[in-house]
């Protein structure tokens, strides 16, 4: 596999490319023309080239394949420009280099040019979604061709090439799918192949990745085990260095002290002669002595050796726990730096001579250099690479692999951030492309500080071979499956579509007016059932024609009875139909509307005064007003929609007068209720807070405050009772239970109630009942509530000291008994009488009115009077007071005497 190219993406792109090529060849071959033959030939050549490239793995570049693709693209472009797929049909070509991923600049530019020319032909020949999709695919392939000269450089370039070409293949397949919408056979075959292609791509990705992942996991485990062995080998090397240093210390510092010649001779004869190992004596003052000239260290490295913490600790005994024999991995400065395994030994004899508590004056240091000779001496049948890295920044110090592989290992370190400290157990990086699988373990000194990295790697050759073999096998298997399914889908598709074609021909005859047309399909499947049903349908069509005429007549009746206004126009904006509701809203006659332009007969304006009766507008439920010829307006909601299947529009007007009134009433209701509830709540809260905060108030004050709270609460209760009563009437939950009742008792009961409810007006409340009045047949509860509303108005609007009189007398026609409440207040102008009994309306409706109220009391009385059949009247003039009256029916039975409590 090429560098940076995921296995699943590689196989998926190749399958998509081959599928797109074969699909284009089939689409062009169906045209059976010379230009179509050019398109089919070019597509088949590209398909063959893509199959070849899918099987030619391990070659990073091929100019020959790029030139063949370029030539095939130009052949396709020629066929497209000459109508290879017919006029206004899908023109297309396919170009793409998948494997090998790279080509030199000349062939790559030639291929890019061919792809872009074919894309231009696609857009020029068909300027719709199909042509744009195919042209976009060509553009992506052209961009990929310009990147191909960089594809053999690894990293992101190969992945970019594959992504661009895969995206281009998908765009071409989308164009083929759009083209297939015009043919049932194409849709059937395309749907089957799309499903199989999706499964094949998934199989290549899943199975291929399973194979690669399994092999990669095994390689990781082998490399990790090898890294553990190499780490243990370095530890053994350190132990050996310590042992050698201890032995030399006993010879050179104790038994034969100060005999440098003897020590050098001993080192040369008995110490293993490993190249680049070194033996030195380091004194406490930093003086270094070599033995026999074996000192393969530079001056810079010698200076670093004097300061190694492991040597200083033995010489000075400064460690947390004194030790005479230590070894450590350390780094010596240089270019590049050196990594050494240093052993420091103090023999038991030296300890006895100097004393257990006294540090030695001189120690013997035995060191191994982890250099190229050391790594190359690593013999293993597994063929593992051994690389030592050190320095800041990290450099390759020693390796048994080539310079190229060493550079890749260093690149892995930098890519994955391993140049910083890593965990003691190390980290494994799997093979990516041609990069090896590597296990990195830190090289730690005796204090646990990292001085470098040890990389144990394994070449990616076996992994690449496994991946390539798997890709070839999977690709060939998937391609054969696609070809077999394509042939089977074409055969089965034709057998399925032929009966549908016959049905289509019969339907065309019926559309032309031949209601005797029948089909010749006799199969027992769903298509045969459809054919027989079609024959039955043609028989019933003639009968349905008459039914349609009757339906048209009924439709006219429905339009005439619609509450919404409707005007229909033709393509020139002339009114061709109008219903009575529209005429009523416009204030016109039918003869004044039909045949006239819509903008002339319908004066409909929005809230800004802009005319809306314009056939070019499209409106949905917009608020507006209809301006009639007499100067009045009607609030409406307007819609202007196009007529389906014909030229013209329909204007729909919905009268919103009642909705506007309801909205106004709701607003006034909320305003009045909030005012009526807030007014008594203010003194209730104020006096209640005084009673709570000042418990020592005088009894008289407490009584006064409590009385005020009670009275205000009664006012609130009256407001709530009125709302409940109004709601009960609106919901139809009120039941009237009339009974014989004395007029005197009826009025006396209300008089007693109001003397208790308004004690400050007790002297003003009067009763005057004519003699000889018969009993009335009423429900005293509801009539009493009506009288309460009359009295409430009189109390609010008349000043203290003016009389409020309950009156009982015969009605003017002498058939009923009239009960009234008469006051001597300011009176009501005659022009305001009509609005007295309307909900939420008051004579003074301003926001600064002096007297509050819900505006529901008198409307409640009106509703009660209408439901019970009691005539309601008002008599008033400005400055002359007002009298509100109810005419009650006379009872045939004697009244039940009222018992006083």
Task: Compute the distance between CA of residue 290 and CA of residue 243 in angstroms, rounded to an integer.
Answer: 18
Q: Which helix (H) or strand (E) holds 805?
A: strand 804-810
Q: Residue 320 above 60 pLDDT?
A: no
CA within 13 Å, CB half, 149: 10
- Report whether pLDDT(476) > 70: yes
| Cβ atoms of residues 165 and 53 within 8 Å | no
Confidence at 668, pLDDT banded by 50, 70, 90: low
CA 887 to chain centroid, in Å, comes to: 70
Secondary structure element (H or E) that encloses residue 639, with its range: strand 633-642
Sequence-distant (≥ 6) Cβ neighbours of residue 190 within 8 angstroms? 176, 177, 180
The beta strand positions in 361-436, using DSSP E, are 362-369, 385-390, 395-399, 427-429
* 758 or 555, greater pLDDT: 758
Q: Does residue 897 carry a pLDDT above 60? A: no
C-alpha to C-alpha distance for 425 and 442, rounded to whole angstroms? 8
* CA-atom Rg of the chain in angstroms: 53
Closest CA to 338 of 376, 300, 366: 300
The closest alpha carbon to 222, from 402, 375, 384, belongs to 384
Residues 6+ apart with CB under 8 A from 32: none
Per-residue pLDDT, averaged over 195-209, amounts to 71
- Can you give the pLDDT at residue 841? 52
Q: Which two tokens stand for residue 618?
A: 């499209």
Q: Give buried/exposed letters for 519-541 (b at 16+ CB in 10 A, else e).
A: bebeeeeebeebbeebeeebeee
User: Which of 507-511, 662-666, 712-716 has the highest mean predicted lDDT (pLDDT)?
Assistant: 507-511
Answer for the pair 164, 112: CB distance below 8 angstroms, yes or no: no
Q: Would the pLDDT of 173 be above 80?
A: no
Distances (CA, A) of 256 to 250, 251, 315, 363, 552: 8, 6, 20, 14, 132
Question: In 245-258, which positions are buried (b, 16+ CB within 10 angstroms) versus exposed (e)?
Answer: bbbbbbbbbbeeee
Of 782 and 62, the structure prediction assigns the larger pLDDT to 782
**586-600 confidence digits (pLDDT tens):** 888 888 888 888 888
Distances in Å between the Cα of 730 and the Cα atoms of 733, 786, 871 are 8, 16, 20
- For 262-272, the pLDDT digits (tens) are 676 777 666 66
> What SS3 class is residue 573?
coil
Does position 572 have pLDDT exceeding 80, yes or no?
Answer: yes
In angstroms, rounded to a whole number, what is the distance separating the alpha carbons of residues 766 and 763?
8
Segment 826-844 mean pLDDT: 63
pLDDT category of residue 901 using cuts at 50, 70 and 90: very low
pLDDT band at 395 (very low <50, low <70, confident <90, very high): confident
Q: How confident is the model at residue 689 (pLDDT cuts 50, 70, 90)?
A: confident
DSSP summary character for residue 603: -
Structure-model confidence comparison of residues 59 and 533, the more confident one: 533
Question: Among candidates 593, 633, 626, 628, which has minimal Cα distance to 612?
Answer: 626
pLDDT at 57: 62
pLDDT for the residue 818: 92
Q: To which residue do tokens 């409909």 refer?
A: 604
Tokens of 292: 């026999």
CB-CB neighbours of 599 under 10 Å: 15
Give residue 819's pLDDT.
92
Mean pLDDT over 25-41 rounds to 71
Measured between alpha carbons, how far is 95 from 21 in angstroms, rounded to an integer? Answer: 9
pLDDT of residue 2: 39
Is residue 119 over pLDDT 70?
Answer: yes
Q: Which residue has the higher pLDDT, 387 or 433?
A: 387
How is residue 594 written in tokens? 């039909």
Q: Is the pLDDT of residue 365 over 80?
A: yes
Q: What is the mean pLDDT of the chain?
A: 75
Tokens of 86: 């017919």
pLDDT at position 816 is: 92
Lowest mean pLDDT among 21-35, 294-308, 317-331, 665-679: 665-679
Per-residue pLDDT band at 459 (split at 50, 70, 90): confident
By percentage, how much of the chain surpasses pLDDT 90?
2
- What are the tokens at 225? 């085990």
- Greater confidence (861 vs 271) lies with 861
Q: How far is CA 453 from CA 227, 304, 389, 486, in A?
A: 11, 19, 5, 56
Q: For 291, which DSSP code?
A: S
pLDDT value at residue 88: 39
Q: What is the pLDDT of residue 33?
A: 67
Residue 873 contacts by C-beta under 8 Å, 6 or more apart in sequence? Answer: 884, 885, 887
Give 89's pLDDT tier (boundaries 50, 70, 90). Answer: very low
The two three-digit tokens of residue 156, written as one number = 């992101």
Q: What's the distance, Cα to Cα, between the start and end of the chain in Å?
A: 110
Q: How far apart are CA 97 and CA 6, in angstroms?
A: 16
Structure confidence at residue 553 (pLDDT): 72
**Lookup: tokens for 407:** 């550079």
Q: Which residue has the tokens 């191909």?
A: 148
Q: What is the average per-residue pLDDT within 267-285? A: 71
Distance of alpha carbon 362 from alpha carbon 857, whole angstroms: 118
Dig out the tokens for 731 from the structure.
């919901």
* CB half-sphere exposure, 84, CA atoms < 13 A: 31
* pTM of the model as a whole: 0.44
Position 245 confidence tier, pLDDT thresholds 50, 70, 90: confident
Give me the pLDDT at residue 31, please: 63
Evaluate if residue 381 carries a pLDDT over 70.
no
Q: Give the pLDDT band (50/70/90) at residue 718.
A: low
- pLDDT tens, position by position, 309-319: 888 888 877 65
DSSP state at residue 393: T
Among the residue ranges 18-22, 274-278, 769-773, 886-890, the one predicted with the least confidence is: 274-278
């Amino acid at each position: 596999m090429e560098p940076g190219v995921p296995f699943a993406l590689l196989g998926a792109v190749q399958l998509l490319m081959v599928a797109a090529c074969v699909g284009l060849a089939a689409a062009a071959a169906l045209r059976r023309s010379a230009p179509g033959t050019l398109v089919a030939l070019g597509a088949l050549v590209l398909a063959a080239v893509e199959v070849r490239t899918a099987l030619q793995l391990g070659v990073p570049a091929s100019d020959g394949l790029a030139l063949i693709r370029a030539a095939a693209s130009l052949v396709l472009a020629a066929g497209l420009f000459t109508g290879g797929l017919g006029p206004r049909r899908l023109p297309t070509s396919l170009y793409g280099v998948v494997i090998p991923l790279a080509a030199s600049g000349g062939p790559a530019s030639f291929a890019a040019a061919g792809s872009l020319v074919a894309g231009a032909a696609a857009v020029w020949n068909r300027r719709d979604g199909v042509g744009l999709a195919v042209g976009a695919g060509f553009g992506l392939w052209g961009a990929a061709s310009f990147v191909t000269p960089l594809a053999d450089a690894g990293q992101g370039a190969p992945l970019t090439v594959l992504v661009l070409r895969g995206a281009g293949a998908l765009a071409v397949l989308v164009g083929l799918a759009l083209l297939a919408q015009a043919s049932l056979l194409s849709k059937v075959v395309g749907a089957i192949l799309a499903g199989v292609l999706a499964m094949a791509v998934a199989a290549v990705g899943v199975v291929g990745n399973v194979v690669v992942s399994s092999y990669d996991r095994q390689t990781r485990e082998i490399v990790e085990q090898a890294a553990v062995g190499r780490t243990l080998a370095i530890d053994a090397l350190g132990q050996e260095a310590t042992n050698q240093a201890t032995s030399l210390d006993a010879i050179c510092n104790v038994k034969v002290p100060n005999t440098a010649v003897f020590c050098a001779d001993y080192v040369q004869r008995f110490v293993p002669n490993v190249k680049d190992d070194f033996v030195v004596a380091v004194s406490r003052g930093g003086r270094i002595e070599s033995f026999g000239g074996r000192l393969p260290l530079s001056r810079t490295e010698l200076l670093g050796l004097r300061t190694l913490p492991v040597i200083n600790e033995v010489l000075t005994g400064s460690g947390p726990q004194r030790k005479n024999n230590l070894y450590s991995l350390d780094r010596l400065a240089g270019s590049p730096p050196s990594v050494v395994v240093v052993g420091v030994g103090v023999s038991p004899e030296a300890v006895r001579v100097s004393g257990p508590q006294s540090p030695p004056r001189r120690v013997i240091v035995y060191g191994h250099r982890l250099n190229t000779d050391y790594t190359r001496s690593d013999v293993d049948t597994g063929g593992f690479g051994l690389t030592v890295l050190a320095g800041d920044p990290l450099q390759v110090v020693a390796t048994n692999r080539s310079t190229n592989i060493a550079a890749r290992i260093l690149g892995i370190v930098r890519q994955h951030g391993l140049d910083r400290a890593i965990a003691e157990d190390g980290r494994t990086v799997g093979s990516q492309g041609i990069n090896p699988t590597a296990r990195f373990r830190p090289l730690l000194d005796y204090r646990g500080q990292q001085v470098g990295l040890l990389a144990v790697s394994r070449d990616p050759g076996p992994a690449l071979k496994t991946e390539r073999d798997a890709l070839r096998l999977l690709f060939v298997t998937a391609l054969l499956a696609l070809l077999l399914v394509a042939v089977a889908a074409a055969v089965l598709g034709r057998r399925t579509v032929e009966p549908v074609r016959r049905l289509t021909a019969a339907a065309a005859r019926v559309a032309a007016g031949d209601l005797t047309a029948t089909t010749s399909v006799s199969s027992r499947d769903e298509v045969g059932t459809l054919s027989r049903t079609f024959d039955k349908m043609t028989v019933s069509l003639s009968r349905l024609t008459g039914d349609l005429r009757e339906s048209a007549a009924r439709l006219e009746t429905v339009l005439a009875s619609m509450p919404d206004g409707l005007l229909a126009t033709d393509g020139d904006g002339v009114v061709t139909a109008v219903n009575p509701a529209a005429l009523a809203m416009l204030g016109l006659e039918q003869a004044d509307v039909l045949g006239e332009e819509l903008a002339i007969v319908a004066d409909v304006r929005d809230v800004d005064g802009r005319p809306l009766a314009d056939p070019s507008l499209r409106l949905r439920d917009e608020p507006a007003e209809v301006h009639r010829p007499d100067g009045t307006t009607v609030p409406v909601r307007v819609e202007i929609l196009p007529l389906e299947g014909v030229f013209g529009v329909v204007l729909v007007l919905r009268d919103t007068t009642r909705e506007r009134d309801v909205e106004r009433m709701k607003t006034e209701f909320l305003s009045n209720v909030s005012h009526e509830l807030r007014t008594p709540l203010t003194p209730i809260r104020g006096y209640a807070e005084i009673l709570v905060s000042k418990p020592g108030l005088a009894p008289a004050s407490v009584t006064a405050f409590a009385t005020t709270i009670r009275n205000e609460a009664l006012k609130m209760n009256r407001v709530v009772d009125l709302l409940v009563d109004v709601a009960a009437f609106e919901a139809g939950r009120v039941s009237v239970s009339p009974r014989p009742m004395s007029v005197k008792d009826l009025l006396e009961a209300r008089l007693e109630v109001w003397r208790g409810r308004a004690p400050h007006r007790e002297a003003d409340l009067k009763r005057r009942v004519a003699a000889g009045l018969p009993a009335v047949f009423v429900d005293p509860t509801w009539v009493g509530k009506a009288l309460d509303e009359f009295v409430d108005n009189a109390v609010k609007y008349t000043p203290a000291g003016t009389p409020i009189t309950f009156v009982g007398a015969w009605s003017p026609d002498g058939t009923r008994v009239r009960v009234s409440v008469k006051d001597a207040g300011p009176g009501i102008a005659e022009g305001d009488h009509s609005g007295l009994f309307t909900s939420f309306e008051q004579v003074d409706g301003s926001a600064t009115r002096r007297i509050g109220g819900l505006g529901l009391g008198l409307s409640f009385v009106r509703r009660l009077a209408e439901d019970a059949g009691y005539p309601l009247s008002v008599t008033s003039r400005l400055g002359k007071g007002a009298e509100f009256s109810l005419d009650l029916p006379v009872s045939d039975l004697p009244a039940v005497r009222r018992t006083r409590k």
